[in-house]
């Protein structure tokens, strides 16, 4: 039992990280109808920015990464997705692949294929004991960071006019424009927020692996996309929940699969995802079915 | 009143709207003076929604001019048209379904928080039923409440011209009656209304003038209070009424 609780604690950390990335996916899909595969490369680019700013200390590096990630996301919106605003969802998805591969290959040319290692002294390391269970300090930081970011995002989306307009645009983009919501400001805002989220993901991921490679963010975005689809792409709570479920399931599978099946954790995860989609094709989190009343 | 005075009201000239090879509007001319309630009647597919969508900036016209209060609006984005004081309530209202009633009103772009609160209070005065459900998501409302919310949301923007696309669609006769009774009241408060409707008889009860659209063209324009206005519009809809034996002169 205690081993299971221990693995659940570990699963929460990975789940929180993937949940955060899935939330970024859901936010963009809600507003711009693009399942943005390039978000993974924004995570990678942010990690390289952390690497580039490592001599300036943790705060300086995070500041640099925030500027780089937000500028990159805004450029992506302005140069690629804004001109394609009226394009079909499939076109946007393919465009996001093109952006992702272009960025990834650019990073490869600039930094080479080898891992660039870096560690911030002020990033937590080691483990702490909580009620007899061991939790790495990095896991705790991940959960706290994701929690703070989620709370800030909920506060923004529910408590501010900009957030409410962003949710309105996510609900019905054309209608939002009809009540004066500026389409460009809302989409640029959504992209910028995903840039900030990507820096948090990059910070945790690079601390986990001790550096950065050109494919650092690829796994995260693949699982975050899976999670967002499982949870319900068009509902923010759904996307985040789906990301958490996928991350936590993956972590549990890697802990509990017998040795001869080790290495097949992703295959089992995909089986779970298919089962969930068959059972709840509209997503794990969805509104109750409502009849139209007159 | 038959035409907008120069520089005031809405003036649509030679408006053409196409979807691919389909011509939804084929050179529509329409005038609306400030303070007027003008109806646009026509069957399904006559081009009523396309006309309102083009005025609101949702559809770019292939040709023609749209001028409101002396400013050209054709080719502007919907949010720019909104900034010029025009607000469209589309078919079935389209409230933001996952937002609460209150959030639907707060989503409207209004200068200043205090002003927003004042306008929201006014909207709740006009639609008191909405105040009781203000914390409910719009998707839980009845059809009538949703239409009321859509109207309230539009009124929060205090437009000088309200564009209503088939507001009666899917609503019970009692709710429709209440809704239509509101339109002359709005006009009296200074909000002009351009309303697209299939209910020709009802439109003539509350409108000052009406246009009949047939196959994307204005087939007739009538003064709603003139004798025989309904017969004229019906004739535009269906062609001239056949002579009834014994009544022909």
Residue of B nearest to A171 (CA): B96
Which residue in A172, A179, A292 is closest to B157 by CB distance?
A179
Q: Which residue is it, tokens 């269970």? A: A133
Mean pLDDT confidence for A218-239: 88
Mean pLDDT of B154-163: 95
Question: In the structure, what pLDDT confidence band is assigned to residue B232 with cuts at 50, 70 and 90?
Answer: confident
Share of chain A above pLDDT 70, in %: 97
User: Could you name the CATH architecture of B10-238?
Assistant: 3-Layer(aba) Sandwich (3.40)
Convert the pLDDT of each residue in B123-139 to its tens digit: 999 999 999 999 999 99
Residue extents of the structural domains in chain A: 2-279
* Average of per-residue pLDDT values in chain B: 89
Nearest residue on chain A to B146, judged by CA atoms? Answer: A294
Quick check: B163 pLDDT over 90? yes
Tell whether B163 lies on the interface with A, counting CB pairs under 8 A: no
- Residue A282 pLDDT > 60: yes
What pLDDT does residue A289 have? 38
Residues 6 or more apart whose Cβ sits within 8 Å of residue A289: none
Span A34-61, mean pLDDT?
Answer: 95
- Name which of B139, B154, B157 is nearest A290 (Cβ-Cβ): B139
B101 band by pLDDT with thresholds 50, 70 and 90: very high
B2: pLDDT strictly greater than 50? no
Show residues of chain B in contact with A237, CB under 8 Å: none
Does pLDDT of A125 surpass 90? no
Nearest to B106 among A161, A172, A290 (CB): A161
Taking residue A162's Cβ as centre, other Cβ atoms within 10 Å add up to: 14
Residue A289 forms contact with B (CB below 8 Å): no
A293 and B143: CB-CB below 8 Å?
yes
Quote ipTM for the complex. Answer: 0.90
User: B75 or B237: which carries more pLDDT confidence?
Assistant: B75
CATH for the A2-279 domain, from 1.10.3470, 1.20.120, 2.40.30, 2.30.29: 1.10.3470
Cβ distance of B79 and A182 shorter than 8 Å: yes
Contacts made by residues B107-116, CB under 8 angstroms, sequence distance 24+:
B107/A164, B107/A165, B107/A167, B107/A168, B107/A176, B107/A179, B107/A181, B107/B153, B108/A179, B108/A180, B108/B153, B108/B156, B108/B157, B109/A165, B109/A179, B109/A180, B109/A181, B109/A182, B109/B79, B109/B82, B109/B157, B110/B156, B110/B157, B116/B156
Buried b (16+ CB within 10 A) or exposed e, B167-203: bbebbeeebbeebbebbeebbeeebbbbbbbbbbebb
Task: Categorize the per-residue pLDDT at B245 as very low, low, confident or very high, splitting at 50, 70 and 90.
Answer: low
Please indicate whether, in this complex, the C-beta atoms of A168 and B104 are within 8 angstroms of each other.
yes
pTM for this model (two decimals): 0.84
Choosing among A160, A174, A175, A287, which should be mutated to test the B contact, i.e. which has the most B CBs within 10 A? A175
pLDDT at B7 over 60: no
Exposed / middle / buried, residue A74 (Cβ in 10 Å: 0-12, 13-18, 19+): middle
In the predicted model, is pLDDT for residue B248 greater than 60? no
Q: Which 3 state secondary structure label does DSSP give B239?
A: coil
Tokens of B5: 């005075």
pLDDT in tens, A69-118: 999 999 999 999 999 988 998 999 999 999 999 999 999 999 999 999 99
- CB contacts of A176 in chain B (<8 Å) are 96, 107
Biggest distance spanned by C-alpha atoms of chain B: 68
Average pLDDT over chain A, rounded to whole?
A: 89
pLDDT tens track for B213-231: 999 999 888 888 888 888 8
Q: Report residue A135's pLDDT band, with 50, 70 and 90 as the boundaries.
A: confident
| Residues 199-258 in A contacting B (C-alpha not used; CB under 8 Å) | 235
pLDDT, residue B77, reads 94
Asked if A85 has any chain B CB less than 8 Å from its own CB, the reply is: no
- Partners of residue B78 in chain A, C-beta under 8 Å: 174, 177-178
Q: Per residue in A174-211, pLDDT tens? A: 999 999 999 889 999 999 999 999 999 999 999 989 99
Spans of all domains in chain B: 10-238
Quick check: B132 contacting A, CB < 8 Å?
no
Q: Give, rounded to a whole angstrom, the gap between the first and last alpha carbons of chain A.
A: 53
Q: Do B98 and A287 touch (CB under 8 A)?
A: yes
- Band of pLDDT at residue A294, cut at 50, 70 and 90: very low
Helix, strand or coil, per DSSP, at residue B63: strand
pLDDT at position B73 over 70 = yes
User: Of A30, A164, A179, A237, which to mutate for an interface test with B (greatest number of B Cβ within 10 Å)?
Assistant: A179
Task: State the nearest Cα–Cα gap between B103 and chain A, in angstroms.
Answer: 7
% of residues, chain A, pLDDT over 90: 59
Pick from B107, B140, B144: CB nearest A168: B107
């Amino acid at each position: 039992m205690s081993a299971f609780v221990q693995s659940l604690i570990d699963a929460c950390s990975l789940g929180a990280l993937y949940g955060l990335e899935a939330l970024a996916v859901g936010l963009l899909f809600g507003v711009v109808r693009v399942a943005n595969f390039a978000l993974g490369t924004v995570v990678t680019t942010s990690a390289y920015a952390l690497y580039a700013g490592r001599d300036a200390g943790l705060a300086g590096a995070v500041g640099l990464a925030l500027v780089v990630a937000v500028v990159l996301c805004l450029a992506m919106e302005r140069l690629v997705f804004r001109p394609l605003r009226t394009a079909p969802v499939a076109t946007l998805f393919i465009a996001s692949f093109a952006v992702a591969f272009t960025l990834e290959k650019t990073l490869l040319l600039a930094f080479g294929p080898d891992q660039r290692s870096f560690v911030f002294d002020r990033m937590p390391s080691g483990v702490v004991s909580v009620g007899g269970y061991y939790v790495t300090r990095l896991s705790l930081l991940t959960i706290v960071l994701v929690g703070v970011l989620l709370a800030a995002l909920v506060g923004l989306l529910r408590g501010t006019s900009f957030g409410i307009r962003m949710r309105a645009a996510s609900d019905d983009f054309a209608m939002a424009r009809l009540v004066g919501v500026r389409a460009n400001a809302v989409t640029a805002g959504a992209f910028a927020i995903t840039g900030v989220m990507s820096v948090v993901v990059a910070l945790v991921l690079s601390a986990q692996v001790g550096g950065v490679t050109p494919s650092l963010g690829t796994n995260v975005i693949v699982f975050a996309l899976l999670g967002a689809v499982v949870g319900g792409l068009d509902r923010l709570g759904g996307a985040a929940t789906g990301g958490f479920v996928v991350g936590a399931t993956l972590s549990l599978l890697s802990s509990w699969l017998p040795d001869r099946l080790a290495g097949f954790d992703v295959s089992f995860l995909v089986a779970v995802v298919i089962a969930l989609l068959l059972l709840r094709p509209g997503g794990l989190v969805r509104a109750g079915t409502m009849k139209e009343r007159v | 009143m038959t035409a907008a005075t120069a520089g005031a009201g809405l003036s649509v000239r030679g408006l053409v709207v196409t979807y691919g090879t389909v011509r939804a509007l084929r050179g529509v001319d329409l005038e609306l003076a400030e303070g007027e309630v003008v109806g646009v009647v026509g069957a399904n597919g006559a081009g009523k929604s396309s006309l309102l969508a083009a005025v609101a900036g949702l559809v770019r016209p292939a040709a023609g001019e749209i001028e409101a209060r002396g400013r050209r609006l054709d080719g502007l984005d919907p949010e720019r048209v909104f900034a010029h004081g025009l607000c469209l309530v589309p078919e079935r209202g389209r409230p933001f379904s996952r937002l609460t009633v209150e959030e639907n009103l707060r989503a409207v772009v209004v200068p200043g928080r205090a002003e927003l609160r004042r306008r929201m209070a006014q909207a709740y005065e006009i639609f008191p039923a909405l105040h009781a459900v203000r914390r409910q998501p719009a998707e839980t409302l009845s059809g009538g409440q949703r239409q009321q919310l859509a109207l309230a949301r539009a009124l929060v923007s205090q437009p000088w011209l309200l564009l209503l696309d088939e507001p009666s669609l899917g609503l019970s006769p009692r709710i429709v009656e209440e809704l239509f009774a509101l339109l002359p009241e709005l006009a009296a408060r200074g909000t002009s209304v351009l309303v697209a409707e299939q209910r020709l008889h009802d439109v003539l009860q509350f409108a000052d003038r009406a246009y009949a659209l047939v196959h994307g063209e204005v087939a007739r324009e009538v003064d709603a209070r003139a004798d025989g206005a309904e017969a004229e519009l019906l004739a535009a809809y269906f062609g001239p009424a056949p002579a009834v034996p014994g009544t022909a002169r």
